[in-house]
Copies of this chain bind each other. A is one copy, B any other.
Amino acid sequence: MNIYVDGMGGDNAPYEIVKGAVMAAKDFNKKIHIIGPTDIINDELKKYEFESGLIEVVNATEVITNDDEPTKVIRRKKDSSMIVGINRVKEDNESIFISAGSTGALLAAGTLMVGRIKGIQRPALTVMLPSRRGITLLLDVGANVDCKASYLVQFGQMASIYAEEVLGIKNPRVGIINIGTEEGKGNELTKEASGLLKEANINFVGNIESRDLVEGYADVIVCDGFTGNIMLKLIEGLSAYIFDNLKTAMTSDTRSKIGAVMLKPALKSFKKKFDYKETGGAPLLGVKAGIIKAHGSSDHRAFYNAIKQGIIFSEKNILRLISNKIVEI
């Protein structure tokens, strides 16, 4: 197994990425390949002590920026850390690639360059959401804006395997996002998908309303990529709106400012619940390679966790498990 890391992806690259990679290499005693401009990565590596041979730098001269259009990166930035990384795992099924870079670019490159596991109709982008009971794996959050019911069944099957094998959730409960909890509710897509999910070889628990997304009623929640993307961005926007307003309230006058200082420690742990650093990464499921997307704002701890998930992904041979379990529909 080769572990490849996108040294230049994410808001905090290369510093936090390299730091997390070195930590992971030492803790798991695995060699990690960090991809990026050799001089930049080596400059970062000088800050740490580790056994030689534990880290290898793979040179990639280009860097993907926010201005790059995701679908054009493949041809225009062939020597970027992300494209070099995808090319590596493409050729080697047991390897994994972890990146905190552009989701759109990773999705485009992952699906277009690598290709799908045999029998998989569409790959799906997953995300891990904090919930009242732990973690919920939500997919698809943007890879497929128009879905057939059968895609959703495969999303549920793939994510079940991931949740069980990588996250250690026994017999994961799979739900479908819908507008009501009762059977028979929904639009054409969810009604058809629910019927199929009931027949599939997974622990299907039925409809989940979006208001219960964070309740933890399911470990895996499937939806079409349009709905998933809308939900994900709504969570982002609404959280920011609430926190902004909270901040304004806390600095509105002297009395409030004093109260805010008193509350600081408690609020810190409260805010921690809403950050993704502990969760690590989320896989691009259905492609013929181990590709883990770490959150764009990952610090070294988050990236370390994403690497850890990648290692389990490879060790448990998730690609083979998916390939074996999937029902061709």
Which residues of A come within 8 Å of B, CB atoms?
132, 142, 145-146, 177, 179, 186-188, 190, 209-215, 224, 226-227, 229-231, 233-242, 245-246, 248-250, 252-253, 255-256, 258-267, 269-270, 273-274
Contact = CB atoms under 8 A, between A and B. Distances in A.
> Of A190, A233, A264, which is in contact with the most chain B CB atoms at under 10 Å from its CB?
A233
A187 B145 contact: yes
A146 B188 CA distance: 7
A240 to B, nearest CB: 8
A141 B209 CA distance: 14
A234 B210 contact: yes
A264 B262 CA distance: 13
A234 B228 CA distance: 12
Determine how many copies of this chain the complex contains. 2
Nearest to A270: B249
Nearest to A224: B187
A237 B265 contact: no
A125 to B, nearest CB: 12
Q: Which 6 A-B pairs have the closest CB atoms?
A: A259-B262, A211-B237, A259-B263, A249-B270, A211-B233, A210-B234
Nearest to A212: B237
Contacts of A263: 249-250, 255-256, 259-260, 263
Given A241-B214, A242-B242, A249 B267 contact: yes
6 contacts: A187-B224, A211-B240, A215-B237, A242-B274, A259-B260, A259-B264
A71 to B, nearest CB: 12
Nearest to A209: B233
Given A210-B237, A250-B266, 9 more contacts: A187-B226, A210-B231, A211-B240, A231-B234, A238-B239, A239-B242, A246-B270, A259-B263, A262-B262
Given A186-B145, A227-B230, A239-B238, A255 B262 contact: yes
A234 B259 contact: no
A142 B179 contact: yes
A142 B233 CA distance: 20
A275 to B, nearest CB: 13
Nearest to A131: B241
A308 B238 CA distance: 29
Nearest to A251: B266
Contact of A238 (B235, B252, B256, B267): B235
B270 A265 contact: no
Nearest to A211: B237
A183 to B, nearest CB: 14
Contacts of A213: 234, 237-238
Which one of A209, A238, A264 has the highest number of Cβ atoms from chain B below 10 Å of its Cβ? A238
A73 B243 CA distance: 41
